[in-house]
Amino acid sequence: MSTAIDTLIFDLSTTTLREANQALHAEDLTGEVLITNPRGAHAVAAGVDAEVQITVEGHVGYYAAGMNKHAAITITGNAGVGVAENMMSGRVHVQGNASQSAGATAHGGMLVIDGDAAARCGISMKGVDIIVGGSIGHMSAFMAQSGRLVVRGDAGEALGDSIYEARLFVRGEVSSLGADCIPKPMSQEHHSELRELLDAAGYSDDDTRDYTRYGSARRLYHFRVDNAASY
């Protein structure tokens, strides 16, 4: 651990992850943080609760940036399962690909993935905004309750299965829709909403007219015996 021009630096080849994460949980944490040589470590920069900018140089394992509050975290490589899981606020930017369950159960903030995201992206999302530069895998946005998921590429099977009130925008092809998920019209409100999300994620050149919106048909809100096979 060292300090250079107000930047706190942790080299995980010489500093333990426990020591680094403990320092990131300090109440007086400010400024910028650089984490080098993560080498696929799990739970890197998890549980941060401070308005700080963190850059992780390299690939990370499971649950990186999980439970994030306020921080702006950039991962320059790929991320394993559950990146930004249960995030409350702030911004997490993965410059590579993400494995399964990216942004799972996240309540707020923004998750940007430049590459592809694997299965179950945005599962049970509860208010987060997720923008994926590439494609997503099957069962993404399963039981998504609120928030927005934007996919610039394609979506795998069973998109939005058992969805509640989250809004999904997909530019490419969708393999299949899950139970109670249907295409919905794009009003001017939705075009404006999508425009803001794309601009915030750095995709200002995208035309919102190329996207299709998906959401809940609201048929599963109350139990009906003729829908029993869908539950």
pLDDT at 223: 63
89 - beta bridge partners?
none
Q: How many domains does the chain have?
A: 1
pLDDT at 230: 60
Consecutive H or E run containing 74: strand 72-75
Per-residue pLDDT tens over the stretch 147-164: 999 999 999 999 999 999
Burial string for 77-116 (b: 16+ CB within 10 Å, else e) reads: ebbbbbbbbbbbbbbbbbbbbbbbbbbbbbbbbbbbbbbb
53 - beta bridge partners?
32, 72
- Tell me the average pLDDT of the chain: 94
**Helix, strand and coil in the chain, % to nearest 5:** 15, 30, 60
Q: Are 194 and 211 in contact (CB under 8 A)?
A: yes
Q: Considering the entire predicted model, what is its pTM?
A: 0.93
Which CATH number do you get for residue 15?
2.160.20.60
Residue 36 has pLDDT above 80, yes or no: yes
Q: Distance (Å, rounded) from C-alpha 2 to C-alpha 174? A: 48
Q: How many beta carbons lie within 10 A of that of residue 211, not counting itself?
A: 21
pLDDT at 5: 44
Q: Which domain holds residue 210?
A: 2-230
